[in-house]
């Protein structure tokens, strides 16, 4: 396994963690909080953003405008059943989500959720490192690389791992600050 490939996989793990962070609401309207909402549309789970235009007209409202008005009730039901903790308001043509200010308890809950996502990202990076180290050991066993080269590669892999785990820690700190500031 080549270092650029490993680095690419680790970068993707950081990006996936960042996308997970974007689905956590911070007290301000953000269309990304609906990224995980799936609607059962004609028997197929469909992402909400495929069925409706999502906008944020102001800092406390998310506006959902379905492309097909017949899907309005399905979208409303899916949002109600999702884990975002918001109640949709349906006026017959659009759905509005009012984002209430976060309570201190809810902020603590969201910080725990974000920390869980960060840990999942770190585990993904460690798994990538483990797979790469296994590949290096296999190459060493098959005499494709020398013992010194294998050790150097493993050291490089550890440095990459540390670099990307610190990136996740940095993104986590930013998100925690975003959640805890009023």
CATH of the domain at 78: 3.30.1360.40
What is the Cα 11 distance to its own chain's centre? 13
| Residue that is last in its domain, among 98, 124, 150 | 98
Strand ranges, E, within the chain: 38-41, 44-47, 52-58, 61-66, 88-90, 95-98
Inter-axis angle of helices 104-141 and 3-22, nearest 10:
170
Mark the ranges of the chain whose per-residue pLDDT is less than 50. Answer: none
pLDDT for residue 182: 62
pLDDT for residue 145: 87
Cα 122–Cα 126–Cα 129 angle in degrees, nearest 5? 145
pLDDT for residue 11: 93
Instruction: Kindly state whether residues 74 and 36 are assigned to the same domain.
Output: yes
Q: Supply the DSSP symbol for 162.
A: H
Domain that holds residue 151: 3-21+103-180
Interacting residues of 94 by C-beta distance below 8 A, sequence separation 6+: 63, 64, 65, 66
pLDDT for residue 115: 93
Instruction: Kindly state whether residues 89 and 157 are assigned to the same domain.
Output: no
Domains held by the chain: number:
2
- Residues found in the chain: 182
pLDDT for residue 2: 79
Instruction: Kindly state whether residues 168 and 107 are assigned to the same domain.
Output: yes
Residue 31 tokens read as 């269309």
The helix (run of H) or strand (run of E) holding residue 112 is helix 104-141
Alpha carbon distances (Å) from 46 to 17, 41, 75: 22, 6, 10
pLDDT for residue 130: 94
**Mean pLDDT of all residues belonging to the chain:** 88
Instruction: Kindly state whether residues 176 and 111 are assigned to the same domain.
Output: yes
Strand partners, 95: 64, 90
Cα 43 from Cα 156, distance rounded (Å): 48
pLDDT for residue 24: 78
Is 99 in contact with 60 (CB distance < 8 Å)?
A: yes
pLDDT for residue 91: 87
């Amino acid at each position: 396994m080549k270092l650029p490939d490993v680095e690419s996989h680790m970068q993707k793990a950081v990006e996936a963690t960042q996308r997970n962070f974007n689905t956590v609401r911070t007290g301000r309207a953000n269309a990304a909080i609906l990224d995980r909402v799936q609607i059962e549309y004609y028997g197929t789970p469909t992402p909400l953003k495929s069925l409706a235009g999502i906008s944020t007209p102001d800092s406390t409202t998310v506006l959902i405008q379905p492309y097909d008005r017949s899907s309005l009730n399905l979208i409303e039901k899916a949002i109600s059943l999702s884990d975002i903790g918001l109640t949709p308001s349906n006026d017959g043509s659009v759905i509005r989500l009012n984002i209430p200010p976060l309570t201190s308890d809810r902020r603590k809950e969201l910080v725990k959720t974000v920390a869980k996502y960060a840990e999942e990202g770190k585990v993904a990076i460690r798994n990538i490192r483990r797979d790469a180290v296994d590949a290096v050991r296999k190459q060493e066993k098959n005499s494709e690389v020398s013992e010194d080269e294998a050790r150097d590669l493993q050291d490089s892999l550890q440095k990459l791992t540390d670099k990307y785990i610190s990136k996740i820690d940095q993104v986590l700190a930013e998100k925690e600050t975003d959640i805890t500031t009023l």
